[in-house]
A and B are shown apart, each in its own frame.
Chain A
């Protein structure tokens, strides 16, 4: 049985994946969800095990990653490594 830590890790991984998928243009690239598998482009099977490694014709644009949160910049007070009061800036990405 999976531990809670493993479940949490898996949940975080799937969250990350869903964020990545959101960056892919599903309409015209590798796989068109609106058509049957037979209508998809030559050499691209719906099941990866049937087609080996797919050729990505529409690579992720502009970074990927990120996921939820919606971006935005913010600052928080911290004690830095030198023992001084400082302000840490966080840009984009957000916090889930």
Chain B
């Protein structure tokens, strides 16, 4: 059975207008609602990305974000600690796969990568955790189930080594 579109954005239990063209501080409420890994007829697929950088030497932190497309890399700046999160809602009548690539840059860095998928029908349906860090790239493919409305969260963080500030995260999502 077909699913009526929600959105364009969604937050909590209500639809929101399309996301902002600029991103102030912690950004807007909500996240885009997508048709699986495809474009709507009048709106391209988009996700929400948020980042945070922290310098232990200066005690300063920087936050921000933007929307992104499938197959588009998003990267943080470089500092003592780097955090990057992707989020989007999806609606799908069939299961589909999303492949994520995560790249880290700190010589002696360490961190973690987690993915949580939730649906309105079944709550949290998938929870993934892996360690990342150092100089390298990892990829993983996740299956997002059919749902009238689901929410996907991808978290990545890297902590640089002692007295170093070369932590950085770069990542993208793509159809698989």
Contact = CB atoms under 8 A, between A and B. Distances in A.
A16 B66 CA distance: 50
Contacts of B41: 77, 85-87
Contacts, number: 46
Among A77, A82, A87, A88: residue with most chain B CB under 10 A: A77
B69 to A, nearest CB: 15
Q: Interface size class for chain A?
A: 10 to 19
Interface residues of B, number: 18
Interface stretch (B50-58, B87-95, B134-142, B159-167): B87-95
A78 interface: yes
A77 B92 contact: no
Contacts of B92: 79, 83
Contact of A85 (B1, B40, B94, B146): B40
Interface string A64-96: 000000000000111111111111100000000
Contact of B93 (A76, A80, A88): A80
A59 B96 CA distance: 53
Contacts of A81: 1-2, 93
Consensus secondary structure, chain A interface: strand
Interface in A35-78: 76-78
Nearest to A75: B41
Nearest to A85: B35
A87 B92 CA distance: 15
Nearest to B36: A83
Interface in B35-93: 35-36, 38-42, 91-93
B124 to A, nearest CB: 22
A86 B92 CA distance: 12
A87 B4 CA distance: 9
B157 to A, nearest CB: 33
Contacts of B42: 77
B3 interface: yes
Given A76-B5, A81-B1, 14 more contacts: A76-B4, A77-B41, A78-B2, A78-B3, A78-B5, A79-B92, A80-B2, A83-B38, A83-B92, A83-B96, A83-B146, A84-B38, A85-B5, A85-B39
Interface of A: 76-88
